[in-house]
Structure 1
């Protein structure tokens, strides 16, 4: 019988770290904490081992195709497949960032959308039937954050393809470079990247339906992490609860959905629920 495998990207700190901790406590399989920085990743694993948990570490930088290729080959040779994949790695520029809108747009979309997509394209062939994929989105990933009705309709088109979605994301980056993005896309590259990730989730689910693979996006809540400049009221373990629900506990009928931190399914194009956290 094959060993079950869970992989969490960008998990040496924050919500990703807490997801690894939660999986180690409950998952009957091997859990991989991954990080682009080997030293930080190994320290995170050592910290969890002090708690009596047993994650494994492997270097993984989602922005580096070679790194993803090495990781993919290692998992395939060692285990033959993946059963849980949590796409957590992401970046966010601070509000007072000095980089231009154009630079912020290019870098944010490169990591949060394009690098997540390329990592999925390399690792999805390893997903075993019945696997679960959790894409860490955000309340920013709600479709109503996009001002243009035309864009909203295109993004939720049930026949939208990955290449069409990627072209839309490129259109945003080009608009940001020209300074014309605000009217249609709004002023946040992070919003666009997470809307793109949520749209990608729905496409991925359609592509994997016939293999009983569940792909869902989740807003983990406003969590006290480096990314939120430690302004979020939730602790990282609270931020991990909804992602862990999707990875371990959600009914098989939950697929291609957008889940809120309270584990409730949210209409992607409906009203944004009142945000307590």
Structure 2
């Protein structure tokens, strides 16, 4: 690869937008803002360019395999690969949403892909199996009975965190000399559309830990709190969101 490349999914607003802006300021290479909606993505890019930043745009819907393949092929043909990925894109239903919980579970998990399990030897296949069971239980109205709770979004975040640990373990086993890091980060309760702007942190504050992981961190396979410290992801949280 001739130049380093950084990609942020769901970068047109919220924490993703702040991460893109931070990378434009400090990342030594090309920065891609991606979004599902082309119009919103291009508008965000123009806003950053007007502020003096240099960046690129590409449409990317992580729930659409054709969209994923299109972007992947673009990156391979132009750069040969990728250096940094911030998997920020997400979906959440509001607390007063009228959609059935099963639909909420399916839509949220389509974005996160897999679910959690504490087994240190957990495989991607087993993780996917657990996620499918969560969706099935939710669609049948058995989510609480089966111990999943009432928040599809929370389950999906636990799942995607677990996936990051599985991926790190597999990468280490495959070739530890490649020095690839996969981490999960909790940015805090941020004022965004997803939280109906009820959070306590600005998007700039929410971007601090993700930018730390992207630019300075040596963490590998860790769950990182908003204060940039690695913690036990399934243990006692250090403080409220």
Give the TM-score normalised by the residue count of structure 2: 0.95
What residue is the counterpart of 2:118 in the other structure? 156
What residue is the counterpart of 2:223 in the other structure? 258
After superposition, residues 85-104 of structure 1 pair within 5 angstroms as: 85-104=85-104
After superposition, residues 109-128 of structure 1 pair within 5 angstroms as: 109-113=109-113
Deviations 1:216-272 (A, max 9, x none): 000001111000100112111111000000011112xx1111001000111122211
> Which of the numbers 222, 227, 234 marks the counterpart of 2:189?
222
- Does residue 83 in structure 1 map to residue 51 in structure 2? no
- Does residue 55 in structure 1 map to residue 50 in structure 2? no
The answer to whether the 8 Å contact 1:113/1:194 transfers is no
Q: Secondary structure at the match of 2:83?
A: strand
Distance 2:204 2:120 in 1: 34
> Which of the numbers 203, 206, 209 marks the counterpart of 1:242?
209
- Does residue 170 in structure 1 map to residue 132 in structure 2? yes
- Which structure has greater strand proportion? 1
Q: Displaced runs of 4+ in structure 1, greater than 4 A?
A: none
After superposition, residues 9-20 of structure 1 pair within 5 angstroms as: 9-20=9-20
Distance 1:193 1:270 in 2: 17
Q: Secondary structure at the match of 1:199?
A: helix
Q: Secondary structure at the match of 1:82?
A: coil
Distance 1:220 1:176 in 2: 27
Deviations 1:106-134 (A, max 9, x none): 111112225xxxxxxxxxxxxxxxxxxxx
Distance 2:230 2:130 in 1: 26
Paired residues in the alignment total: 236
> Which of the numbers 177, 181, 199 marks the counterpart of 1:232?
199
- Which structure has greater helix proportion? 1
CA RMSD of aligned residues (A): 1.3
Distance 1:104 1:54 in 2: 37
Q: Which runs of 5+ in 2 are unaligned?
A: none
